[in-house]
Structure 1
Amino acid sequence: MSDRRKFLKRAGFTTLSTLLAMGFLHKDKREQDNTNAAIANYETTPSLRQLATTKGMLYGAAISSDALQKEPDYAKLLARECSIATPNGELKWSATEAKPGVFTFELADLIAKFCEQNNMRMHGHTLLWHTARPDWVPYPPTFKMLERHVKGVMGHYRNSKVLKSWDVANEVMANSPEETDNPYGLQRGFKPELLRDLFLLAASVDPTKKLCLNDFGIENGGWKSQQFLKTIEYLKNNGAKIDWAGFQSHLWFSKNYPFDEKGFSSVLKRLKDMEVEPVVTELDIVIDTPFPETIEELDKMVANSYKQFLDVCFDGGVKTVITWGITDRHTWLRYPEWMPQKYKENPEYQHYLRPLPFDKKLKPKPAFYSISQAFKEASDVRRRS
Structure 2
Amino acid sequence: MSPHRSIEGRTRRAVVAGLGAAGLNLFGRPARASTEPGLAGHAARSGRVFGTAVRSPDLTWNATLRGEVLREAGLLVPEYEMKWDILAKTPGTYDFTGGDRLASFAEAHRLGLRGHTLVWHLALPPWLPGTLDAGEARRVMEAHVAAVAAHYAGRVQSWDVVNEAVDPQGPDGLRASLWQRALGADYIPLAFAAAARADPKAKLYYNEYDLECDTPDQDVRRAKTLEILTRLRREGVPVHGLGIQAHLQAGRWPYDAGKFARFLAAVAALDLDLLITEMDVSDRLLPASEARRDATVAALAGDVLTTFLTEPRAVGVVTWGLSDRQTWLNDLPTHRRTDGLPQRALPLDRDGGRKPLWTAMARAFDGAAPRP
- Normalized per residue, the structure richer in helix is 1
Shift of 1:167: 0.5
Aligned length: 333
Q: Residues 341 and 57 (structure 1 numbering): CA distance in 2 closer, same or farther, change over 3 Å?
A: closer
Shift of 1:143: 1.0
Decide which of 113, 118, 123 is 1:122's aligned counterpart.
113
Q: Residues 137 and 241 (structure 1 numbering): CA distance in 2 closer, same or farther, change over 3 Å?
A: same
Using CA pairs below 8 Å that are at least 6 residues apart, which structure has the higher relative contact order? Answer: 2
Kindly indicate whether residue 222 of structure 2 is the aligned counterpart of residue 225 of structure 1.
yes
Q: Structure 2 CA distance, aligned partners of 1:139 and 1:281? A: 28
Decide which of 203, 208, 217 is 1:210's aligned counterpart.
203
Q: Structure 2 CA distance, aligned partners of 1:107 and 1:88? A: 11
Structure 1 vs Structure 2: percent identity of aligned residues?
28
Deviates more, 1:132-141 or 1:262-271: 132-141
SS in 2 for 1:349: coil
Q: Structure 2 CA distance, aligned partners of 1:269 and 1:249? A: 17
Q: How does 1:31-110 map to 2 (within 5 A)?
A: 38=29, 42-110=33-101
TM score, norm. by length of structure 2: 0.85
Q: Residues 168 and 74 (structure 1 numbering): CA distance in 2 closer, same or farther, change over 3 Å?
A: same
Q: Structure 1 CA distance, aligned partners of 2:263 and 2:130? A: 28
Q: Assess if the C-alpha contact under 8 Å between 1:101 and 1:148 holds in 2.
A: no
Kindly indicate whether residue 330 of structure 2 is the aligned counterpart of residue 334 of structure 1.
yes
The answer for unaligned runs of 5 or more in structure 2 is 1-25
Decide which of 228, 246, 250 is 1:253's aligned counterpart.
250
SS in 1 for 2:207: strand
Q: Deviations over 1:224-280 (max 9, x none)?
A: 1100110111111222111010101101122x7531212211110101111111110
Shift of 1:342: 6.1
Q: Residues 299 and 363 (structure 1 numbering): CA distance in 2 closer, same or farther, change over 3 Å?
A: same
Q: How does 1:113-262 map to 2 (within 5 A)?
A: 113-138=104-129, 142-160=137-155, 163-174=156-167, 176-177=168-169, 179-180=170-171, 182=172, 185-188=173-176, 190=180, 191-220=184-213, 222-254=219-251, 257-262=253-258
Q: Structure 1 CA distance, aligned partners of 2:363 and 2:356? A: 11
CA RMSD of aligned residues (A): 2.0
Q: Structure 1 CA distance, aligned partners of 2:335 and 2:76? A: 30
Shift of 1:339: 3.5
Q: Assess if the C-alpha contact under 8 Å between 1:39 and 1:364 holds in 2.
A: no
Q: In structure 2, what residue type is equivalent to 1:372?
A: A
Query: Which residue is equivalent to 1:275?
Result: 271
Q: In structure 2, what residue type is equivalent to 1:259?
A: Y
Q: Structure 2 CA distance, aligned partners of 1:250 and 1:140? A: 30
Shift of 1:349: 2.6
SS in 1 for 2:281: strand
Decide which of 342, 350, 365 is 2:355's aligned counterpart.
365
TM score, norm. by length of structure 1: 0.82
Deviates more, 1:215-224 or 1:80-89: 215-224
